[in-house]
Structure 1
Amino acid sequence: MNRLKLNYFVDLALFVQFALVGFSGILLLLNGHGVSQLWKGIHEQLGILMLVFFVVHIALHWRWIVFTTKNFFRIEREMKAGEVIEANYMPVD
């Protein structure tokens, strides 16, 4: 499986988990005592699984995070006459 498909499936799974954890969390918030043990279990187990998928998501996008953070905090300085500009390109996988 190539990296693009892996990113897609990890992000899709993370979205589905987020939606189910959010829905079960709203059920627990509105009627915590009347909700079945099934929804409580779904909420807890998917919350843990969501953490695992979040770590995988961060690992897959780590190079982009580092590159963007460096560019965000880069200090702009004035160019001097005759100075050579070095280009730093991030390769796309």
Structure 2
Amino acid sequence: MAAAGLAVPVVFLRRHRTGDLYAWLVAACGLGAPLLRRYVDVGTLGPLPNMYEPIWFEEKIRAAWAEGIATAALTVLLFGHRRRPA
């Protein structure tokens, strides 16, 4: 949550390719987390409990769609246009 909160001002206030890449990584990890918890039973990792949950419910579906859209939009932002030389 803190990583996403930091990504917003980095992208909107200081447009730079590294900030865009950071925001893409946050969105991609946000998409990867529910997919990993749904399809892979990783077990207990140190202090983290086993979060394997082999079902989809409405909140998880909406979160996965939102993170997927954010990842796709940031991919277009990173690779979809050329920047003008300074």
TM-score for both structures, normalised by structure 2: 0.47
TM-score for both structures, normalised by structure 1: 0.44
The structure number with the bigger radius of gyration is 1
Q: Which gives a bigger RCO, structure 1 or 2 (Cα 8 Å, sep 6+)?
A: 1
